[in-house]
Each structure stands twice: as structure tokens, then as C-alpha cells.
Amino acid sequence: METKIIGNKIAEARKQLNMSQAQLAERLFISPQAVGKWERGESMPDITTFGRMAKILGVDLNYFSANGDQETDGKLAAYDEKLANGQQAANGIQPEPGWMKHDLSPELTTTTASGTAPGPASGTGLVPGSDPHRILGSAPDPTSGADPVPASGASPQPAPGKALNSARDNKKRPVRNMSTNTWKDVDFSGLNNIRETVNAANFQNCKFLDSDLKGLVWKNDVLHRCDFSRSSLNLCRFQGSNLEGTRFNGCSLVEADFSSSTINKCNFEGADLTKAFFNFSTISGIRVQDVLWSGTAFKDSQIEDVIFEGNLENCHFEKCGFKRVEFRNTRLINTFFKYNNNLKKAIFTNCKVDSLTYAFLKSDKANVEGLTLIEDK
């Protein structure tokens, strides 16, 4: 099949839906440049991408294979036969493993903070060709200059060569939540105004860059190697969750609650942790350079392999265990230490403290070497 013919068909079907190249690319998890090359006839999608694209554009695979060459027509027919034989997920095509760069893991699982357990898909996960922003109830910024996406309940215009299924025409696109499913290598960046509880979900290598997720509740979730950099996470509650290798660089985490969570090797550099809570948590190997500490509370938590730097003001350490913890070049003002375990093993290097904090530290049997008392004015 000539690639130019395929490109013309892709462009025609896309334009019938008032969809831009960028929007089609986003839903296929590829670059807009790739779509442009297809439509110019410079390259051609792989066979599984044809299946996902057909579903997005509202056409069947025969639309692409008409007037085509025998080899490509045979591949499309074989793939179409797979779908006809029931190898199709409840909400879309169930491709073979490795079907796209951002593989969401074909088999959804039921997830807890301690791991995952196989289970049936609940119908709330991302399906091939889906737009994660639309699934989660938010849409791209209308001021961005991108072509508009049809409204949730709008009926798309029929693409050439295929009459759209009437049920699909009239059925509103469901707004789904993120709970209980496994999400792998998905880019959720720019999400905003999400108001729900994300419960028992498994996120692996996902991006939430520059997002506004204020007040979102993450409960009993797994968040491994995810990236929330530069996002607003004020009042978020990460309760009973397992966070490992996750980045919160430059995030606003004012009054965020990490209670009863495991926080391992996460990066909080440049974050605002004003009045954040780390109660009943296990904290290990986190990076906290240039963090804003003010009114931050640690209670009944285990803290290991952490170097605190900068200013700690009105903070609270109570009934915590300390192991390989150092306060380095730190200024501690009105910070409370009480009933802590092994605080005497914590190292204070070139630290300045006010008289009240010094009294708390000395009462809690801390090693006060390395402390300089700030004279009261």
C-alpha cells in the first residue's frame, strides 16, 4: 500500500473529527511529528497502531486497507480478525505486550500499598488510544491554541468509509477515576481540578509535572518513580501509601499529609513543606536540599539516612526514631524535640539554635556538640 494513500486517509478522517495532529498524537502517546510524517507519506504506522487509531477516528481497519497492497491488507485483516474473535478488552483493543512506548500494562491489577494482586479490570483504567486528561475529568487549556476536542456528549462527524456506531455516537464518554488500577509510564502532566480519592492504585514511572492537584486524596497507593515536579499539591493527603523514588522537586506541599506512609529515596529538593505532616511514617533516604520547613510535623515516625538543611522553624519532632540522621548547616528556631528515640545519635554540624530549641534538644539527650546558641535579642 502506498504510504501517501494511507496518509491522506488518516488526515481526512482526523479532519472530519476536527482533531489536530497534536491531539491525535496525544491519544496515541506518540509525537505530533510522527503523525505529520504519516500524513505526508514519509512513514507508516505499525500494525497495532493502526488498530488503536481506527478506534480513535471511528473507522474500521478496512478503511485503511482499501485499494492497498496485498501485504499490508493481509496484516490489517489478520489484526481485524483478532478483534472479531474476541481479543478485545472491555473498553477497547487489548494489544499484545509492548504495543506502545508508554505501555499501560494490558492486565489491570488490584493494588495495595504493599504490592499488587491479580484481579479483573474494573473498567476504570486507561485503554489504548485514550486521552488521560479527558478520562480524569480535565481537558487541555483552551487558551493553548490547540484545535478544540468535541465535547463529551457531542457526536463526531462520520469519517469517510465508515458509518459510526449509533451507540458510540450517542453515548457520553465516561469520566473515570484512577483508583484500583495499574498505571505505567503514563504522562498526566498538566492535570488540574481533579476532585476525588485515588484509592489502592499502582503508579509506575508516571509524570504529573506542572499539575494542580490541590486537596487530592491518595489513599493506600503505590507511587514508584513518579514525577510531580513543580506541581501544586497543597492539602494533598498521601495516606498509607508507598512512595519510592518519586520526585517532588519544587512542589508546593503546604499542609500536605504523608501520615502512615512509606517514603523511600524520594526527592523534595526546593519544595515548600510548610505545615506538612509526616506522622506514623517510615522515611528513608529522602533528599531535602533547599526545602522550606515551617510548622512541619514529624510524630511517631522512623527517620533514616536523611540530611536536614536550611531553616527549620516551629517544627515538631516527637516520638521519632533517628538512624544516620544529620542536621547540617541548619538554623533551628522554636523547634520541638520530645520523647525521641536515639536522638543522641543524630549529628548536628554547624547548626544554630535559639534557647528554646536548645533546651528541648538537651532535655531529649541530643548531642549538643556542633550547636551554636543564638543570643536572644
| pLDDT tens, position by position, 186-232 | 999 998 877 778 999 999 999 999 999 999 999 999 999 999 999 99
Domain assignments of the chain as residue spans, ordered by start: 3-93, 182-373
More confident residue, 156 or 73: 73
Average pLDDT taken over every residue of the chain = 76
Reported pTM: 0.57
pLDDT in tens, 256-280: 999 999 999 999 999 999 999 999 9
Most trustworthy range by pLDDT among 67-76, 79-88, 152-161, 245-254:
245-254
| pLDDT of amino acid 110 | 35
- The CATH classification of domain 3-93, taken from the options 3.40.1160.10, 1.10.3720.10, 3.20.20.450, 1.10.260.40: 1.10.260.40
DSSP assignment of 141-188: -GGG-PPPPPPTTPPPPPPTT-PPPHHHHHSPPP----TTSEEES-B-
The Cα–Cα gap between 271 and 292 comes to 6
pLDDT in tens, 89-120: 333 433 333 323 333 333 333 334 444 433 33
Q: Retrieve residue 195's grid coordinates.
A: 476532585
- When pLDDT is averaged across residues 328-357 and rounded to a whole number, the result is 94
Contact 334, 311 (CB under 8 A): no
The CATH classification number of 182-373 equals: 2.160.20
| pLDDT of amino acid 129 | 40
More confident residue, 49 or 142: 49
Which residue's C-alpha cell is 499539575?
211
3-class secondary-structure state, position 272:
strand
DSSP assignment of 42-95: S----HHHHHHHHHHHT--HHHHHTT--HHHHHHHHHHHHHHHTT-EETTEE-P
- When pLDDT is averaged across residues 165-178 and rounded to a whole number, the result is 42
Answer yes or no: is pLDDT of 284 > 70.
yes
